[in-house]
């Protein structure tokens, strides 16, 4: 049952990335650029190796956010750019942490996801 749920979330995320890839210039009405195919492919390649699937959102900063939330108010976000990944983490008590990596890897993301959950 759990594997089936993960597969459904993974498949939904792949479809979400495919939709984002189709966005045209000015997709948000405020001048946002079309998304780089390499960025989308990099995220798609990492997704099957993550311990749990994120919620995926496009941003107007030429990045795609991978988000996680806990029931007790914690929030973890990876903002993935073509040249870096910016992590933002907020504990349910309000303490925040930020980190930047120069490359995207499932191993690095999984370490932070495990720490978060």
SS3 state of residue 55: strand
Q: What is the pLDDT of residue 5?
A: 61
Q: CA-to-CA distance for 88 and 85, rounded, in angstroms?
A: 10
Distances (CA, A) of 50 to 10, 38, 47, 94: 10, 19, 5, 26
Q: What is the mean pLDDT of each run of 10 residues along the chain (117 residues)?
A: 72 97 95 95 97 96 95 90 95 84 95 88
Q: CA-to-CA distance for 103 and 81, rounded, in angstroms?
A: 9
Q: What is the pLDDT of residue 96?
A: 87
Burial of 6 by CB count in 10 Å (0-12 exposed, 13-18 middle, 19+ buried)?
A: middle
Q: What is the pLDDT of residue 115?
A: 86
Q: What is the pLDDT of residue 77?
A: 96
Structure tokens at 7: 């597969």
Q: What is the pLDDT of residue 99?
A: 93
Q: Phi/psi at 115 (nearest 5 deg)?
A: -65, -35
């Amino acid at each position: 049952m759990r594997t089936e749920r993960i597969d459904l979330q993974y498949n939904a995320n792949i479809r979400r990335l495919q939709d984002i890839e189709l966005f045209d210039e000015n997709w948000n009405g405020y001048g946002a650029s079309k998304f780089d195919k390499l960025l989308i492919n990099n995220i798609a390649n990492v997704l099957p190796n993550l311990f749990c699937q994120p919620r995926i959102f496009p941003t107007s900063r030429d990045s795609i956010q991978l988000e996680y939330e806990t029931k007790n108010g914690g929030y973890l976000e990876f903002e993935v750019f073509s040249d870096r990944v910016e992590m933002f983490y907020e504990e349910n008590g309000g303490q925040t942490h930020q980190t930047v990596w120069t490359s995207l890897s499932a191993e690095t993301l999984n370490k932070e996801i495990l720490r978060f959950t």
